[in-house]
Structure 1
Amino acid sequence: YEHARRLIEEGKAYACTCDRERMRRLRAEGVECEHRSREREWHLEMWDGMLSGRFGEGEVSLRLMGDMRSANTTLRDPVIMRIVDHPHPLKGDRYHVWPTYDFAVSIEDAVCGVTHVLRTSEFALRNELQDLIRSYLGMPNPTYVEYERFEFEGTPVARREIRALIEKGVIGGWDDPRLATVAAIRRRGIVPEALREFVLRYVAMTQSRKVYSWELLHAINRRLIDGTTPRMFFVDGPALLKLRGFEPVEVELPLHPEGHMGTRKIRASGELYVRFQDLLEVGVGGVLRLKHLANVRVLEIGDGRALGEALPGPPEPGMRVVQWVPVESAVPVRVLVPGPLFGPDGAFNEESLRVVEGYAERNVLNLKRGDRVQFERFGYCVRDSDEEPVFVFTHR
């Protein structure tokens, strides 16, 4: 407020009662409005009226006296203070006159001693305006370091685009796993170290706008989380497999193939869930291996059901090894699988968030929200809810 009053007193800011449309039109035409040339006392009186609550939102604003004929349109007498009638998220109704972005950030940077401003090049036109504000106030200007924005394929990164998708109900919020916001990437199971390495290795301070594949980030993340992520069984597209000649048994399985994370136990009976697609590909008469459990010859395949015979002996070379879940202790699980929001043609991808349903071993109930797991032969996932067994797919 003090800086704004000082600008008025020095003839570098003025009060304006033009409505938004008229102001926009005159700025586009490079034409000054009649308020610009009014006496200083009138501007100070209007400013005091803004602060006292005499005016409502949109009735009057404070504008910087710039250059209405400048090729840089941000310098054409922009608004620097305006009235906002609705409550502020943090300050409530304490203030109703608020600075615009350019006025606020120009002063804050100087007051806080900011010497270098790092930001995307879309703000380049605003540098001259912010420098002008600080020069009017006798404040030092920083050094600007600009770089281009980077994007992921099919994923919007502009805040206005994301907000529009949220307001239309297309996505669930700023942490929707299809987005590239920090909240969304965290929810998706990407660790901070992976994002940091990705930016430093592939992006850095690029001067050209680039679109990256998610696979680059996934490859880094996979390397970082593999050694600390437990393995468990999840069967998507399940079929009920009944076994002949199989005695119930409790098996102890490693939580990680390298053995450093301990073990978990599963009690297996003669009825198991396995992937129906695995059964179809092995076919009647074929043999598959239930991982860490038994060899099985497929005798019959029906609609979502199959009959098999347990065989003695270790797995044979070339045998298909599949995950399994006991029917008696199976936990129904949903996995949200995010994909690109938009296709190469810019059209919305209706399959951008698939829901995969299946059954998981009971040990998944020991996982808490935010815990990672690798569902064997499916992919890395993160538990998304403490109330129900819902997971978000990270990557394979």
Structure 2
Amino acid sequence: MQYLLRHYIRIPHYLYSQFTPSIASTLKNLSPSQLTQFNQLISNDDEKKLKLIAYLVQKLKPGLIPYKQILLQQIRNKSIESNQDLEYAIKLIQKIQNPEFYLNEYINTIKEKRIHSCIIQINQKYPGLCSNEQLIKIKEQFPECTQEMIIKLNQNKQNQSKQQIYEKIQTFTPRDIPEQHNLPEQLEKHKCITQGKIVLRFPPEPNGYLHLGHVRSIRLNFYSAEQLNGYCYLRYDDTNPANEKQIYIDEIEHNVKWFGHKPTHITYASDYFPFIFDCAIKLIKDNKAFICEQNRDEMKEYRRNKQPSPYRDRDIDESLRIFNEMQEGKHPESKYTLRLKIDYQHANPTLRDPVIYRVLYTQHPKSGDKWKVYPMYDFAHCICDSLENITHSLCTLEFEIRRELYYWILTNLNLYKPFVYEFSRLNVSNNMLSKRKIGKMIEMGIVNGWDDPRLLTLAGLRKRGYTPQAINEFIDQVSVPRGGNEQIISIKILENCIRKELEKTAPKIMAILNPILIDVEIDKNTIKQVYVQQDDVKLVSNPDFYGLTPNKQVCLRFFGVILCEDIILENDKVKYIKVKLISTDINERKKLKGQINWLDKNDCITATVNEYSYLFDTENPAEIQEFWNSFNKNSLQIYDVKVPKQLEYKVGDRFQFERNGFYIVDSIKDGHIYFNKIVGLVEGEKKNLK
């Protein structure tokens, strides 16, 4: 169907993606010529209107063409709202204008209210319904109407794409689990607290910097809550102090605010540690949890073979005593764990008596050394969701297998159960979105920290020059699928989002990368020294190259035609280029295909550019065990660049370097400017690809 819409009637991608199956089935019945008619009529109409338009075109006869525009105008004016209205209007035309037309075939074609009243008004003013003069006027106005609809469509486009995200929440249908349903009294209490509003949460673990994959969750939770007039918590899942740092906590909050979101509350899993500890005590007393002494390898082996722990039937009082001693710091790490007593033979491995508490003697960034035992994520997460009265607990698909454990815990603690839904994890080509693997790359020196602009961490993207708007646009385009975690999204989609924004906002300047100084002989007594780009100079000419080569004429943009007489090398590098001015006549300049950017030596300053390309040569480095072997060693290239000295440069300023791409001022040190390349131009990418 998309092929039909694209190649037969050339409908923009943002329009055809919104056609429903009913409209699509109608379009299948149209011939190519009828599809062309439909393409000329459609605009930002709703489904019913589009279906009417499609049917109208299908029934359109040559003699009805003059009336096409006025019917369309009436639809847009909402004078015609139904098939019956349109049928009446067509019969009116048939009766008054020309009884020979079979205008009842023209029914069910366009769909809006305005046609009906418009035809009546015209009939009152013009006894012949539509005079030639009126038809001409309508034809003149139709393109204006079309443009208005296009403008309106573009204005609504972003809101429509965003709307798809939060409206999808209301249609989520995960795998049904009997335990997920609340008791009537639990649900009533929950609704009383939330007052029927949606309550979401964004629960990152503060063990690293957020990356592009987290934005899908940020967007889904915060934006949805805002659009639905609900609430969204920022909750830190700080259950593993060994990997958590205050710097990560601060950076996460900064990123959320960078996207323009204000959390309803900022909470920590550690805020609920006393209650979670009491929940563990309750489960022990109910004989639903026990203290185990197996080490990690033994436990892994027993669970894989569906064998019970030898400590599974430990006395309840003994388990209570040891658990309290664990919190008092009387036992070393790894000696004891607290495990749930569910079903060691369960088909779902997460239900085979999982660990819910362990001993950790590590300083916690928030609670210090108050706690010696820490809950596992799977135990704390669901309890925190329940205590905060979260309505929709949204997470990535790898947690789908844990949903039964989520509801088992809440059921056995008699706590309110949020609705749980999983969506696909975001994977972007030629990069890595695993905090563990990013940390490995930093450790190996492959990248220069979490904010390396080659990374897709939010700190890296911000340093690279990406904006929250462009990142959100990317997330909206890829939506919230549930097909699996294997799908790889092309990084070119992300690049196109920032490129489209910068094409509208970034000022253009002439900048010369890898500059070469040339002497232009104006006359026998005058030499003009200018910089040109190294890419514009070659020793040997070829038909596809329009730059400087010996004995070839090119044009210095806005200046004149020059002749390259000779190129002198030293140590395989260009040392000197002998150039002569031929003409400054504008007509002569226009004749040449070779138009070279340049800057006068006296009007520019030297800066430094960090040119970035893809971090990995392979599309999906995550599937390679030793992923660092596919690292692109040329992912960072550092060049000199000449930029106009009369401009003012501030950190964060973005520019389009003509013929090169988009750049941001990363830093200014001792008066020297450092630029980071954000993204290349489409033309430049095609050229490089070729």
Q: Same fold by TM-score, threshold 0.5 exceeded?
A: yes
Match of 2:342 in 1: 66
Does structure 1 retain, via aligned residues, the 8 Å contact 2:355–2:376?
Answer: yes
Equivalent position amino acid for 2:616 in 1 = L
Does structure 1 retain, via aligned residues, the 8 Å contact 2:280–2:289?
Answer: yes
Highest Rg: 1 or 2?
Answer: 2
Equivalent position amino acid for 1:288 in 2 = V
Listed as ranges, the matches of 1:307-318 within 5 Å are 307-310=578-581, 311-314=583-586, 315-318=589-592
Match of 1:217 in 2: 494
Match of 2:663 in 1: 381
Listed as ranges, the matches of 1:1-396 within 5 Å are 1-208=277-484, 209-245=486-522, 270-280=528-538, 281-303=547-569, 304=574, 305-310=576-581, 311-314=583-586, 315-328=589-602, 329-344=604-619, 346=621, 347-363=629-645, 366-387=648-669, 389-396=673-680
CA distance in 2, matches of 1:30, 1:59: 22
CA positional deviation for 1:14: 1.6
SS in structure 2 at match of 1:358: strand
CA positional deviation for 1:293: 4.2
Q: Higher strand share goes to which structure?
A: 1
Deviation readout 1:262-281 (Å, 9 max, x if unpaired): xxxxxxx8322212331324
CA positional deviation for 1:42: 0.8
CA distance in 2, matches of 1:276, 1:173: 32
Instruction: Report how many aligned residue pairs link the two structures.
Output: 375
Q: CA RMSD in A?
A: 2.5
Does structure 2 retain, via aligned residues, the 8 Å contact 1:339–1:351?
Answer: no
Equivalent position amino acid for 1:182 in 2 = L
CA positional deviation for 1:190: 2.5
Normalising by structure 1, report the TM-score: 0.86
Identity across matched positions, percent: 27
CA distance in 2, matches of 1:88, 1:341: 36
CA positional deviation for 1:132: 0.9
Q: Larger RCO: Structure 1 or Structure 2 (Cα < 8 Å, ≥ 6 residues apart)?
A: 1
CA distance in 1, matches of 2:448, 2:325: 42
SS in structure 2 at match of 1:287: strand
CA positional deviation for 1:113: 0.8
CA distance in 2, matches of 1:353, 1:63: 47
Does structure 1 retain, via aligned residues, the 8 Å contact 2:554–2:592?
Answer: no
Which moves more between the two structures, 273-282 or 125-134? 273-282
SS in structure 1 at match of 2:495: helix
Normalising by structure 2, report the TM-score: 0.51
CA distance in 1, matches of 2:411, 2:548: 76
Equivalent position amino acid for 1:48 in 2 = N
Which moves more between the two structures, 200-209 or 75-84? 200-209
Q: 1:24 to 1:365 in 2, by over 3 A?
A: farther
CA positional deviation for 1:74: 0.9
CA positional deviation for 1:106: 0.8
Which 5+ residue runs of structure 2 have no aligned equivalent? 1-276, 539-546, 622-628, 681-690
CA distance in 2, matches of 1:353, 1:275: 21
Q: Higher helix share goes to which structure?
A: 2
SS in structure 2 at match of 1:68: coil
CA distance in 1, matches of 2:505, 2:293: 62
Deviation readout 1:66-105 (Å, 9 max, x if unpaired): 2111111111111111111222234433333211111111
